[in-house]
Structure 1
Amino acid sequence: MTALPLDDLRVVEFGQLLAGPFCGQLLGDFGAEVIKVEAPGAGDPMRQWGREKPHGKSLWWPVVARNKKSVTCDLRKPEGQALIRQLIDRADIVVENFRPGTLERWGLAPETLWQTNPGLIVTRVTGYGQTGPYASRAGFGSIGEAMGGIRYVMGEPDRPPVRAGISLGDSLAATYACLGTLVAVHHRTRTGRGQVVDSAIYEAVLAMMESLLPEWAVAGYQRERTGATLPNVSPSNVYPTGDGDLILIAANQDTVFGRLAAVMEQPELATDPRYATHSARGKAMVELDNLIAEWTSKREAEGLLAALHEAGVPAGRIFRARDMFDDPHFAARQAIVTVPHPDFGELPMQNATPRLSESPGAVRSAGPALGEHNDEIYGGLLGLGETERASLRTNMTI
């Protein structure tokens, strides 16, 4: 296997559920040795989460814990804290998503850790960040989505806000945490010093909100819920086909709309003053959507998409999971890979992303069993003898 770009980094991952662990997953995908520290006996609740649980086991855990090693340690005990200090002293990065102050209560404050490992990067993912009046509040991803602004603009205009069917806020905060961690690694090459990376869920969501803030501050404009469309961006919508499928067509740029009009055999639409410019099409969005829907509803999806693609009009089906498995582009780019799993056999999951031309990431293993790597880490890396480890197990540290 080609050398992975982060295979010289060791990460100690604390925390649970999604925001911190997804950051660890991203780092692990590109080769970092991610050692996940879990409570003895129970482990991360993600081991039990997910809509479907064949064999009584989560299908979510193997994905978010892929490429990781699992060790157990009771961080609430002084013996566990001392043990994990030895592990952190040999690490480059700590990732955690506890409430602010938790590491400090355990004697694992960044300032304490830097005394013996000055280059350590401490990446902290929370709902509200490490400072400010809300820092101590419990902060799940859904609350960050609400406070960051994205919930307000999602859904139909005459209904309450909706959510995406995924954990969007957690994943965004984790992605920014990963970005910040890699920036901090780069900074360390210049200074030799580590630092704290503070990623807040609500701020990660806010960062995605485009021109929402200046629109209000300068123009007094408040974005509202607009369903499947964006205001004044037309045509860009989901349209029905004659065989009961749904396709999305995005032809809001002037030249692209001209191509769509030609495929529709109505080239005059591109020069009609009602539709000729981006602003005009925005004002005539409903009328134009109805016109396009009338055209698409009389054609089968396959032939319709072929004609649109040939003309250079962005268009595609609304994919479900089963569509992804059947699609040749997914296959050609290996967007879905499989890894062996003791219960599920060859388990499919999304590949590492983004793609690097010289040192791409790789999915090497599914999420590990609880404490699967205790002997490797405690006996090998830390050099603890069997007598010491037996004593720790007796005291429920590992």
Structure 2
Amino acid sequence: MVNAMLTEFYRQVRQRSLTLIQGLSAEDTQLQSMPDASPLKWHLAHTSWFFETFVLLAHDPDYQAFDPTFNYLYNSYYNAAGKRHPRAHRGMVSRPSLERIRDYRAHIEDAMLRMLPSIDTKIEDIVQVGLHHEMQHQELMVTDFKHALWLNRYALTQIAAGPATPLDEAVSSLNNWRDYDGGLVLIGHDTSQGYGYDIESPEHQYYLQPFALARSPVTNADFLRFIDDGGYQNPDFWMSEGFELSQQQQWQSPLYWCMRQYLQSSDPNDIQLMTWGGYRRIDLNEPVTHISWYEADAFARWAGARLPTEFEWEHAARQQSVSGHFLEDKLYHPRAIATQAAKSDQLQQLFGDVWEWTQSSYAPYPGFQPAPGALSEYNGKFMINQMVLRGGSCASAQAHIRATYRNFFHPHQRWQFSGLRLAQDR
């Protein structure tokens, strides 16, 4: 990438992080609702720490650290970079203040913008990692703050929505398939075609049996049918570990749904859904989101289908352009599926809106080589006990998503914009 283009890309990505906190108070940016989430203020500092640690301190002999204590406070999990503050207690770091973190970002910006015009290819590669890393954290800023708002009902306004679509008239992803022949296909990132994480490589051949994918993601209407059919109470559909967890935590619906019984309503469509803007009546035509892998897998079994493998998903995605509803749209919620679009031969909402769980465990591709040095800890060290998601969401930056992109989370986690698309053998 020409350095001028990289500089402009750097400016855009870094500014977007600040845009996400516009209108929020310092108290808002301090919240940490659970150990999996982090305060917005921490995200702002950590993404700056990345550039300071791996670019400025490593490659600019004249650069002086902004504050040496920040290496302890804002290191996430890089053991090679030193000791770090406990993840679960990030919300307790009230000092330094938000203004101090803004000063830190400005300090990093000045140093980086002086350095970028003259960097070589090796440093450019690290900067690219840093920018895509920041886009990952922008998505986490959206999902982490949503979870914090959910725990503070005072902060949310009840929104009266119009009449909901009757369940029997809603768009459904069931029994609407596109067939694929399978065979020997290419999987993984071609490094000559632009940026990709190390875990997306190398590109390699993979043999697929014939399969089919649903033309659209599973909708709220589809998932409500699963709920009404006793899906959460029937262990026949569930992995044993997932059913036990769902019973312990009393899952009755996706995260952020407020069901009829809690609203004391007789209206069968009166289900409230929490969004960044508050609670509103559920739109049955939106893709279901905020479900765990266990819930996605149970639904697929209930529907007489299965989750796709990540290789099936990628093979289909390589045949379509990366277009959809992303972070740049600033809605922070998936769009409803249009009736006409759902009848198209193309796969709908394959990119953006909701991440799609696959049945594939997060594992290295044949010939995978992690990045050298401390950056080897960026992805490869997490290849255990996690499942792969594909496609991006309404909180993902479009520039960050491609057909080969592999996201990964533990099967119980629900606070991301995670949904599913059904698959079948053919």
The answer to whether TM tops 0.5 is no
Q: Find the structure with the greater CA-based Rg.
A: 1
